[in-house]
Amino acid sequence: MRQETKMKMDNKIYEEQDYENGALYKTQVCVIGTGCGGATVAKRLTDFGFDVILLEQGGYYPATKMDQNELNMAGKLFGARGLATGHDGGNVLMYGNNVGGASVHYWADSYRTPSEKIRSWEQEFGVKGHGVAALNPAFDAIEKSLNVHRAEDEFFNPMNEKVRGACATLGWHGHRVPQARKFCQKSGHCMQGCLYDAKQSQIVTHIPSALKQGARLFSDARAAQLIYSDTKELARKANGVSVEIMDRARNRPSGKKFKIAADVVVLAGGGFNSSFFLMQQGFKKDLPALGKYFSMNPSTMVHSLFEEEIIQWRNIPAAWGVDEYRLRRFNKNQYVEGGYLLMPNQLQPASLAATIPGFGSDHRTWMDDLSKVGGTIAWMDDVESELGEIRIKSNGAREVYYPYGELTKKVLKDGIKKQVILNFEAGAKKVLVAGLQGVSLNTIDEIQKLDDLNIEAGGLSMASPHPGGGCRMGEDPNLSVVNSDHQVHGWDNLFVSDSSVFPSSSSLDPSLTIMAFSYIAADRIKERLSV
Amino acid sequence: MLNQPLPRRRLLKLFASTGGVISALATTQLASCSFTNHEKDTKQTVYNTSFGLLLVMDEQRAKLLFSFAEACVSNSESAIHKAEVIQRIDEELYFVSTDISDDFLLALDVLEYLPLVYGCFSRFSQMPLLEREQWLVSMQQTRINTVSAVISACRMTVMLMFYGHESTMLVTGYDGTFSKMPQIMSSQRRKYKSLTKQVSLNTHEAGN
C-alpha cells in the first residue's frame, strides 16, 4: 500500500508551495469547497472526531492580505474576478473563489429558511429530515457561533434610514436584518472582505474551529477528477480525488498534481460549481436531473439621487429589509404583484459606475454627485416552473442557462416598480433603473414609463449572488441528484453539502440554510462512517 | 448626424451577411493569440501597443476599446490613460478563463462593425467622438438582445476599471477606502506587471 505523504508543517492553511508533486494524502472525509457548506460540514465532522481534508481551488486571503481596494479584492475573492455572466450576458454571477467562499465577500445577512420553503420542500419535493424540528437546533447553534443578531440603530446608514422611513409612510412591512457580525467597524467594505475580522465569515468561524480539531485545508488545490470504482452492490464508491495544484500567480494549473484517498467525499463547491463538477466527471447520463432546477435570485437595482449626502458605501449594506412583497400574490391565478425581498443597496464607486446606466455626459452627471446617490435592490424568489440550468458547453466550459420566463419577467418588472415607489417615498428627486435602457424618472407620476421596460439580456443590470439547485434533493433519481441524506443517487459514499441541493430557491440569503443543511449532512455522513 | 437604425428584418439580414466577416476577423485575431482552448498555455504572446505591452489585446482592439471608453466616460483622453483602463482590462482578461476573454474580444469585434449594420458609414473606432457617444445613446433603446448584451458588457467593464482607479476619486468625491491603507498587490497583479515589463507601483509588496 502506498505511503501517505506527510506535510512539513502542521496547523496552517496550506498553499501551492506546500505540496509535493505526486503526493498522496489520506483522510476519512475529503470536502471539496470551503464556503458556507464545506466549512460547516467539515467543522461538524471534526466535532465528531473524524479526520477531514478540505480542498479549495482559490487562494487564501485573510485580513492581512486585504486592502479594501474594490478591483484588487474582486480579483482575489470573486469567481472569474466578478466578470462571469449568465448565458445571455445579462446577469453578473457572484460567487467566491477563495478560502471561505462567498462568505468572505457576502453581506452577512443571516436568515433562517422561510417556513413556506421548508413546507414546500417537504410536501412538494419529498425532502425528508430537513423540517423545522431538524433545522432549528442547527440554526440555534449557528446563530450563536456566528453572533447573529438584529441590526441595531447605529448600523443604519442614511439609505437604510430612508428606506425604513419610507416603509413606515407606505405601510410596507419591514424588519431589522439579522447580521453575522462582531465589533463591526462600519467600513462599508463587506464585499471587499472584512479587514477587521468583524464579519463572521467562514474564515473566522467554522474554518478555524475545524483546523483546531485537526482538519487540514489545502488552498490553491483544484479537485480535477473523482477517483471511484463500481462495486458488486451496484452502488458506485468514491475512493478519493485527483487534485491539480494551482499556480496562483498565473491563475492556471501548474501542471503538478497530488491525490487524496478518502473514505467519503463531500462536494461543496456551491451552486454554480457542484453540478458542473459532476458533469465534468461524465455523470450526466446517470443523473438526468444534474444541472437542472437551477435558481439564482436574479436581482434588479434602482439608483436614486437625493438632495443630501447618502454616502451609500459606508456602514453595513442592509440593516433594513422590506418583506411586504416577499411572496407572490395572485388573483384568480393571475399574477398581481410581489415575489422579492427589497433592501437598500450598497456598492462601491466602480460597481456603482458600472450599474448606473448611460454614456458620456448623462452618466457623468450621476458620477459627479456620487455621494448623493442611493438606491435599492430586489432579490427575486425564482419561479419554480421557470428555473434555469447549469450546462457544459462543447468546449468544456460552464454555461449558466437562465432564460426569463413570462412570470419571471412580470416579477422582475414589479420589483422595479416597487423600488421606484420606495425610492421616491424616501425622498429621491430622480430615479434611474439599472440597465442599458436607463429609464429615468423625475417623479412618481412617470411610473408608467416602466411599462415599456425591456426585461431581457443586458436590458437590465442584474446580479445573482445566491445560486441554488443543480444537484436537487429528492427521492426520485430521475428528478433529483441527491437523496434526503445528501447522498448522490447510485453512490455509496459521495455526498453534496451546499446550496446546489436546494429543490427550489431559498428566497432569502441562503447562507444560514446552507450551514443548517450541512449540519444534517454531517449527521448522515457520520452514520455512513459508523457502518 | 447619425442614421436611424434599420428596420429589424433588414437589420438581421445585414447582420447575418456581415456575421461571416466578423467571425472570420475574430477567428484570425484569436488564432494570432496562440491560446489553447479553455486554458491558456504557457506560450505567452505579448503585444507591443501604444498602451504598452499587452497580453490579450492587440493594437487594433486596444484602440477600439479606447475609443469606446472615450465615448463612455465623457472625460479627457489623458484621464482615461491615467486610469490605465486599457491595461487593467487587459490584465483582467488575462486571468479569467478563455471562455470569458474570448467572449469579450468577440464583443469588441462585433461592436466595431455594428454601426455599419445600423446604416452608419463608418466603423465604430473611426467615428468622431460625438457621433460615437450619440450612436451609443441611440443603442440604449435596442430590443436586439445580442446588441444589448455586447454594448452592456463592454460598457460595464470600462466603467468598472475607470472608476475603480484612484485617479477618478476626485471626480466622484469618493473619500477612498475606509482604512486608507496602501494597496496590497496580489501575486497575479505582480505577475502581470512582470510579464508586461511595467515599473512596479509604489505599493506594499508583501502578501499574496
> 3-state SS of A210-258?
HHHCCCEEECCEEEEEEEEEECCCCCEEEEEEEEEEEECCCCEEEEEEE
Sign of the torsion angle spanned by Cα atoms B202, B61, A457, B116:
positive
Assign residue A421 the CATH number of its domain: 3.30.410
Instruction: Using an 8 Å CB-CB cutoff, list chain B residues near A455.
Output: none
- Nearest chain A residue to B141 by CA distance is A437
Q: Which has the higher per-residue pLDDT, A338 or B18?
A: A338
β strands within A125-213, DSSP E: 148-150, 174-176, 178-180
Highest mean pLDDT, choosing among A138-152, B132-146, B169-183, B186-200:
A138-152
Phi-psi region of B192 (alpha: psi -120 to 50; beta: other; left: phi over 0): alpha
Sign of the torsion angle spanned by Cα atoms B53, B55, B60, B61:
negative
How far is the C-alpha of A445 from the C-alpha of A447, rounded, in Å?
A: 6
Start-to-end CA distance of chain B, whole Å, equals 51
How far is the C-alpha of A208 from the C-alpha of A232, rounded, in Å?
A: 40
**Chain B contact for A392, CB < 8 A?**
no
In this prediction, residues A305-330 reach a mean pLDDT of 98
**Chain B contact for A396, CB < 8 A?**
yes
| A251 to B188: CB separation less than 8 angstroms, yes or no | yes
- pLDDT for B145 equals 86
- pLDDT for B202 equals 44
Instruction: Using an 8 Å CB-CB cutoff, list chain A residues near B190.
Output: 249
Residue A2 binned pLDDT confidence (cut-offs 50, 70, 90): low
Residue A149 binned pLDDT confidence (cut-offs 50, 70, 90): very high
Residue B171 binned pLDDT confidence (cut-offs 50, 70, 90): confident
- pLDDT for A353 equals 96
pLDDT, tens digit, for every residue of A47-86? 999 999 999 999 999 999 999 999 999 999 999 999 999 9
User: Could you tell me the CA-to-CA distances from A241 to A50, A223, A303 in Å, in that order?
Assistant: 18, 6, 46
- Shortest distance, CA B71 to any CA of chain A (angstroms): 6
In this prediction, residues B155-169 reach a mean pLDDT of 95
Is A164 within the bounds of a domain? yes
Is A430 within the bounds of a domain? yes
Cα atoms in the 13 Å half-sphere on the side-chain side of B55: 28
Instruction: Using an 8 Å CB-CB cutoff, list chain B residues near A370.
Output: 172-174
- pLDDT for A9 equals 66
In this prediction, residues A38-54 reach a mean pLDDT of 98
- The 10 Å CB-count burial string (b at 16+, else e) for A332-341 is eeebebbbbb
How far is the C-alpha of B188 from the C-alpha of A506, rounded, in Å?
A: 35
Q: Is the pLDDT of residue A362 over 80?
A: yes
**Chain B contact for A138, CB < 8 A?**
no
How far is the C-alpha of A226 from the C-alpha of B6, rounded, in Å?
A: 53
How far is the C-alpha of A283 from the C-alpha of A265, rounded, in Å?
A: 16
- pLDDT for A90 equals 79
pLDDT, tens digit, for every residue of B75-112? 788 999 999 999 999 999 999 999 999 999 999 999 99
Question: Cβ distance A520 to A391 under 8 Å?
Answer: no
- pLDDT for B17 equals 40
Is A451 within the bounds of a domain? yes
- The 10 Å CB-count burial string (b at 16+, else e) for B28-59 is ebbeebebeeeebeeeeeebebebeebbbbbe
Of A290-294, A449-453, B122-126, minimum mean pLDDT range: A449-453
pLDDT, tens digit, for every residue of B8-44? 333 333 443 444 343 333 333 333 332 323 345 456 8
| B152 to A350: CB separation less than 8 angstroms, yes or no | no
Is A399 within the bounds of a domain? no
- Shortest distance, CA A454 to any CA of chain B (angstroms): 7
Question: Cβ distance A246 to A274 under 8 Å?
Answer: no
Residue A1 binned pLDDT confidence (cut-offs 50, 70, 90): low
In this prediction, residues A411-439 reach a mean pLDDT of 97
Strand partners, B39: none
Query: Please, what is the average pLDDT of chain B?
Result: 80
Name, in order, each residue with C-beta under 8 angstroms of A338's C-beta and a sequence gap of 6 or more: A325, A326, A327, A328, A329, A411, A414
List, as one string, the DSSP characters of A346-395: ---HHHHHHHS---HHHHHHHHHTGGGEEEEEEEE---GGG-BEEEE-TT
Query: Please, what is the average pLDDT of chain A?
Result: 96
Q: Is the pLDDT of residue B1 over 60?
A: no
Q: Is the pLDDT of residue A99 over 80?
A: yes
Residue A347's CB: how many other CB atoms inside 10 A? Answer: 24
What total of structural domains would you count in chain A? 1
| Residue of A69, A87, A189, A248 for testing the chain B interface, max B β-carbons within 10 Å | A69
Is A190 within the bounds of a domain? no
List, as one string, the DSSP characters of A276-336: HHHHHTT-TTT-TTTT-SBB---EEEEEEE-SS---TTSS-S-SEEE-TTSS-EEETTEEE
Is A452 within the bounds of a domain? yes
User: What's A477-502 look like in SS3?
Assistant: CCCCCECCCCEECCECCEEECCHHHC
What backbone torsions phi and psi does residue A391 show, to the nearest 5 degrees? -125, 165
Q: Where are the alpha helices (DSSP H) in B118-163?
A: 129-139, 145-163
- Shortest distance, CA A302 to any CA of chain B (angstroms): 16
Of A59-73, A447-461, A492-506, B117-131, minimum mean pLDDT range: A447-461
How far is the C-alpha of A509 from the C-alpha of A464, rounded, in Å?
A: 11
In this prediction, residues A167-187 reach a mean pLDDT of 98
Q: Where are the alpha helices (DSSP H) in chain B?
A: 8-31, 59-73, 77-82, 85-95, 98-117, 129-139, 145-163, 169-172, 187-195
| B188 to A85: CB separation less than 8 angstroms, yes or no | no
- Shortest distance, CA B44 to any CA of chain A (angstroms): 11
Containing structural domain, residue A418:
151-181+298-388+404-464
- pLDDT for B27 equals 35
Rg (chain A; Cα; Å) = 23
Is A520 within the bounds of a domain? no
Please state, for a pLDDT cut of 70, what percent of chain B lies above it: 75
Q: Is the pLDDT of residue B3 over 70?
A: no
| A71 to B73: CB separation less than 8 angstroms, yes or no | no
Residue A452 binned pLDDT confidence (cut-offs 50, 70, 90): confident
Residue A5 binned pLDDT confidence (cut-offs 50, 70, 90): confident
Of A125-139, A198-212, A227-241, minimum mean pLDDT range: A227-241
Please state, for a pLDDT cut of 70, what percent of chain A lies above it: 98
Q: Is the pLDDT of residue A321 over 70?
A: yes
Is A370 within the bounds of a domain? yes
How far is the C-alpha of A346 from the C-alpha of A180, rounded, in Å?
A: 17
- Nearest chain A residue to B169 by CA distance is A349
| B92 to A88: CB separation less than 8 angstroms, yes or no | no
Indicate the pairing of strand A252-267 with strand A23-32. Answer: parallel
Residue A173's CB: how many other CB atoms inside 10 A? Answer: 12
- pLDDT for B137 equals 95
| Residue of A367, A369, A392 for testing the chain B interface, max B β-carbons within 10 Å | A367
Instruction: Using an 8 Å CB-CB cutoff, list chain A residues near B178.
Output: 68, 185, 187-189, 195, 314
Which uninterrupted H or E stretch holds B182?
none
